[in-house]
Amino acid sequence: MTADSRVNLGDVLGIWAHPDDEAWLSAGLMMQTIEAGNRVTCVTATKGEAGFPAEDPRTPGQRMALREAELARCLSLLGVTEHRWLGYGDGKCAAVPDRAAAVRLAELIEEVRPETVLTFAPDGATGHSDHIAVCRWATQAVAMTGSSAPTLMYATKTLRWTDEFFAGIDPADVMMVEGLVPEVTDESELAVWFGCDQKLLPRKVAAMRAQESQIEQIVATIGVEQFAALVREEFYRLPRSTDPELIDRMRRLGATRDD
């Protein structure tokens, strides 16, 4: 299997934790889905108010407003016009009862009727407790829809991509649980391996950089060309029989850092 610049997912519902998660993991797929004439709906659980340095002078409300405005610019550049906030506190999703959040998402799935739901894998990519909780909610919500359930896909990475990413970035700056190794999936087991073409990649980079408070430090660290190379590909896998055990283990493990 190799990267494909044309993937047909039908109508898509993306379920994420913080502003910028959606762009990192699915900006290219969202753009291509829209260009194909299909519907994209994006859900964000929190407004990302914890994603700032401790010395940042802004109030939580000001931080929320900033990240809300950044996400709006990002989605506008991607062509995404349907977005929903869940309104949970940043870093506090683990305290939200799973069933309550899952029921809200199941109702949204019934309303939107997507053919594909995109979300985090059980490890939450970085071990962030919000990411892990969102994976649980989305997984339960899809199961609640029964025979009409959309295809659930988990964001993942390959070993090659992970090696390239951590060649320029300290894992301690990204991973939320000490010693946690991010999930990697063999290329042969990917359900989606999407590569942004020369038209989509500049749009993805511009959309991500619209979320300046989260992205510009990374761009400054590794350079825009390397950044573009790292975000060009998007990877998804289908759920595995071992995922329920992993979901439960990650719930118990928890995390101590916020995004």
- What values do phi and psi take at 192, rounded to 5? -140, 130
In 3D, which of 143, 154, 150 has the Cα closest to residue 185? 154
Q: Dihedral sign, CA of 68, 70, 71, 75?
A: positive
CATH hierarchy code of domain 12-249: 3.40.50.10320
Chain position carrying tokens 């992970």: 162
Please give the structure tokens belonging to residue 224: 């825009």
User: Helix 224-231 vs helix 200-209: angle between axes, to the nearest 10 degrees?
Assistant: 110
Q: How many residues does the chain have?
A: 259
- pLDDT tens per residue, the chain (259 residues)? 677 778 999 999 999 999 999 999 999 999 999 999 999 999 999 999 999 998 999 999 999 999 999 999 999 999 999 999 999 999 999 999 999 999 999 999 999 999 999 999 999 999 999 999 999 999 999 999 987 899 999 999 999 999 998 887 787 778 888 778 889 999 999 999 999 999 999 999 999 999 999 999 999 989 999 999 999 999 999 999 999 999 998 988 764 444 4
pTM greater than 0.85: yes
The residue extents of the domains of the chain are 12-249
Sheet of 82-88: strand order equals 82-88, 40-46, 12-16, 116-120, 151-156, 233-237, 192-195
CB 101 within 8 A of CB 137: yes
